[in-house]
Amino acid sequence: MNKPDFDNYLNDSLASLDKEIEPNKVLWSGVEHAIVNTSSDSENKATWPKLTAMAACIIASVLTFNVLVLNENTNDVIAMNDYFSKQKSTLLVQYKGQDALTDNWQIQLQELEQAAQAINKALENEPHNQALLTMLAQVYQQQLDLINKVHAPRWQHI
């Protein structure tokens, strides 16, 4: 059977598109947790993450500027490793002594670190491989997300 032409396909698809999609997780508990804790105390507690986020934005901007404008020869891998190791250290210091939501988060973090090491090794041979760079960035981001989520589960409930 012939395919309908694209314009017909697009119009029909848009007309029948269901705008509603069911999330795979129950998200209310995270929302409830956040809106219940709106006292001034919790606002004070939220100051550090905000400052960290602001610092992260500034570092990311400087890094991007350096990578893209000032020094085109800067190695993407070195820049990314440097940025994430600083971010990770900052978060670990920030949450030091604070109870984590799960017991095995450090094992998960170690596994992600091992994945990052494997990707870094592959990047030694292909330092400009975009797919590897993307994977490395994603693994680093997962590490930061993990540290944040187990210590400050503001939205998602693990």
Residues engaged in binding another protein (CB under 8 A): 3, 6-7, 9-11, 13-15, 17-25, 27-28, 30-32, 34-36, 38, 53, 57, 60-61, 63-64, 67-68, 76, 79-80, 130, 133-134, 137, 141, 155-156
CB of 74 to another protein, least distance (A): 10
Q: 94, 117 in Cβ contact below 8 A? A: no
* Residue 63, burial from CB neighbour count under 10 angstroms (0-12, 13-18, 19+): middle
Comparison of 24 and 98: residue with beta carbon closer to another protein: 24
- What's the token pair of residue 77? 């891998």
Comparison of 64 and 114: residue with beta carbon closer to another protein: 64
Q: 116, 136 in Cβ contact below 8 A? A: yes
Contacts of 158 (CB under 8 A, 6+ apart): 101, 102, 149, 150
CB of 55 to another protein, least distance (A): 13
Comparison of 23 and 97: residue with beta carbon closer to another protein: 23
Ramachandran region, residue 97 (left: φ > 0; alpha: ψ -120 to 50; beta: rest): left
CB of 42 to another protein, least distance (A): 12
CB of 77 to another protein, least distance (A): 11
